[in-house]
Structure 1
Amino acid sequence: MNNDFEDIRFYKDEEVEEALREYVRHPMVKALFQFTFPEKEYSEIEELVVSCRSIRDFQTKVIYHSVDKVLERTTGGLTYSGFNDLKEDESYFYISNHRDIILDTSLLNYTLYDHNLIMTASAIGDNLVQKNFLLALSRLNRNFLVLRGLGPREMLKSSMKLSEYIRKLLFKDKRSVWMAQREGRTKDGSDHTQQGVLKMLAMAKGKMSLAEYFSNLKMVPVAISYEFDPTDILKMPELMAKRMKETYVKSANEDFNSIMQGAMGQKGRIHISACGVLNEDVFTEIEQNVGSVNDQLKAVAEKIDQKIYENYKLWPANYIACDLVNNNEKYASKYTDKEKRQFERRLTRRVGYKNALELNSYLLMYASPVINKESMYEKKS
């Protein structure tokens, strides 16, 4: 097994103080800390920050309060479900839908801390932390890197290393792990688990069967639901290019702008749901009834999707968008006239009504979770 994880690992506790001293006066880092502690002089903040001697210190003394401030200023509150069913001393593999670059995992860890559960080491694409201060902050938050943009041979080696690192974290270090169900955020509102993510995860199973290994991971699907996506308009160019079958090229600061808008934009209410541990019976049944490994991975992906759709909190905006897409009032009981007017105002500020494809694409961002839940229940009945 490969034990050389230097290029992807997060900071060790003994490296934390030095990293904090190096970046505590960086303008962007300073802005984050001043946002977190607006009542303090910066000398006080600096003293607090450099007193952190471990990642847990930094997360609980500083970052927890940063997330708290984001929730206070940009949301209508955070609710959660399912976390009381998890055990305090257990490490879990959390796999969630992916809507926001930073907040998805930040909100999960905020919730885990509140429930006295083991917080996660979290995967992040190296393309998102090209700026040195972002890389430092990510490593201080127990993020490990997923290397992007590699050739086929390098990608295979990198995936194997990543898989072994996740196995080490879960089994040896007893550290929970978070990973998004897909590479890149969901742009169209329709959350689907990519088989490639599960294939990478299975690379380190050794002599275990897929069912045995996935059972040992203690896999917990997580559904994160934002009432409004503050980056919805930023996602539109890529979404439109995809629908027009055109090549989309990201602008230089696009990911950074999405991080900032995701953190500081208004999100309405947020719900995060731990969807229960996928137990051994689930994987054994798939192994016994499904042929090839690829088909088994596909079946596991569908099971994760099913759990996320079941537990995804639907807001009035989701039902309104679904009715507008279908030009009916099927879900009229789920929202008020006032809520519909407010959503339509949001719509007119963001897209051109005369562009049918643009209008439809925007509406589907909010309607897709309803459509997916409908589809899931139709399959089961």
Structure 2
Amino acid sequence: MSKFEQIRPFYDTEVNQALLGILDDPMMKTVMNFTFPELKDEEWKDQLRKTHSIRDFQINFIYPAIEMVLKKSAEGLTYSGIDKLDQHTPYLFISNHRDIVMDTSLLNYSLYKGGLMMTASAIGDNLLRNPFLMTLSRLTRNFIVRRGLPARELLESSKLMSEYIRESLLKENRSVWIAQREGRTKDGNDATQKGVLKMLAMASDEKTELDYFKKIKIVPVSISYEYDPTDVLKMPELIAKSKNENYVKGKNEDFNTIMNGILGQKKRIHIHVDKVLDREIDEIMERYPSVNKQVQALCNAIDEKIITHYKLWPTNYIAYDLFYQSNQYQSEYSENEKEAFQKRLQQGVDVKDKVAVRNFLAMYANPVINQEALKVEK
């Protein structure tokens, strides 16, 4: 038995059996009827019975589902930078994280469309308590991140995940996706946690951590939604945080968030895939002698790439102007776009609650503020 048994995706040899196990699940029927409304149940079931690899399942079933999601809840997906990468080279994609399922699904869909290999992707076990979701996750090449563990177990779990990522990249020749932080960014401030890089470095087989980071080819990714489909759902936690209150998730909150992320309105979406952080790592190694400062500098380098290439939409500029009660960016949006955004704000939060309004606006305005700050630094 592999030491990664508890966290790994299915092997291709296990795919058909796993599919047969969920063939009659009501949730599978819902997904397939949504994706292939023209097919009778027995037709898509027959096709699933003939499916024997993750790649075939993704291309023939998951990506048509994503195309249907985009058709019903978005106004176009664009991507940039993918053509600058080599199709045979595995990369460690580190991205900002806004939506539980769509971030990695859309990146992989874009990589596939751009002729690159799809990734193994990290997902928290707190999102997979439903057996169907666990199976579906492993069928789409997700590996499991264990959450809420005591300190000693957390250390062991982090070490195991780090080893799995190294094995995928360097031995299996498979790209990997992870988020720049644990959990989604809810306030629009995309920042890489040092703990993520420290976890990755646990499996280092190089003289220094930075040598290892260079070896695993880190590629920053910026994912930008014109409308965050879960913006309103993020509000209770943001409001609690701004009042220094503890926030406790509701019983079905994660599942509701997943469904809203998939089906909620997104308008336009853009994904930018950057170049490998190579020269940047060399410069960090020359400039900083201490490991801690090197890791922080690498976090900053990832953040700079993600923030710089985050696609700013009219919603971001509208929120900025409303937040600061200014007209600084009025040339970036129309009156109709402003009215639509204000309507979303009024429907989503109690406009008499100033804290709620400011949190909602800041969620969309912060990417503009962060790009402005980077320009000042330069």
Same fold per superposition (TM over 0.5):
yes
- Contact 2:320-2:364 at 8 Å conserved across structures: yes
Partner of 1:347: 345
The answer to whether 1:239 aligns with 2:238 is yes
The answer to whether 1:278 aligns with 2:238 is no
What is the count of residue pairs matched by the alignment?
378
Normalising to structure 1: TM-score of the pair? 0.98
Partner of 1:158: 157
Distance 1:38 1:194 in 2: 42
The answer to whether 1:212 aligns with 2:215 is no
The one of 294, 297, 305 equivalent to 2:295 is 297
Partner of 1:67: 66
Can you list the C-alpha shifts for 1:160-182, whole angstroms capped at 9, x where unaligned? 11101100000000000000011
**SS of match in other structure, 1:170:** helix
Task: Compute the displacement of 1:5 (Å).
Answer: 0.6
Task: Compute the displacement of 1:368 (Å).
Answer: 0.7
Partner of 2:93: 94
- Report sequence identity in percent: 53
Moved more, 284-293 or 130-139: 284-293
**One-letter code aligned to 2:130:** K
Partner of 1:168: 167
Partner of 1:196: 195
Can you list the C-alpha shifts for 1:287-323, whole angstroms capped at 9, x where unaligned? 2212322221111111001001111100001000001
Partner of 1:287: 285
Distance 2:228 2:180 in 1: 18
Q: How does 1:229-268 map to 2 (within 5 A)?
A: 229-268=228-267
Q: Over aligned residue pairs, what C-alpha RMSD do you find?
A: 1.1
Task: Compute the displacement of 1:18 (Å).
Answer: 0.5
- Contact 2:206-2:212 at 8 Å conserved across structures: no
Distance 1:135 1:193 in 2: 27
Gaps of 5+ in 1: none
Distance 2:34 2:357 in 1: 35
Partner of 2:179: 180
Partner of 1:35: 34
Distance 2:53 2:230 in 1: 32
Distance 1:265 1:44 in 2: 28
Distance 1:373 1:131 in 2: 39
Partner of 2:364: 366
Partner of 1:127: 126
- Contact 2:210-2:294 at 8 Å conserved across structures: no
Distance 2:351 2:156 in 1: 48
Partner of 1:78: 77
Gaps of 5+ in 2: none
Task: Compute the displacement of 1:3 (Å).
Answer: 5.6
Distance 1:314 1:175 in 2: 31
**One-letter code aligned to 1:301:** C
Distance 1:163 1:43 in 2: 42
Partner of 1:114: 113
Distance 1:74 1:207 in 2: 45
Partner of 1:144: 143
Normalising to structure 2: TM-score of the pair? 0.98
Can you list the C-alpha shifts for 1:328-374, whole angstroms capped at 9, x where unaligned? 11111111111111111111111122211110000011001101111
**One-letter code aligned to 1:68:** E
**SS of match in other structure, 1:329:** coil
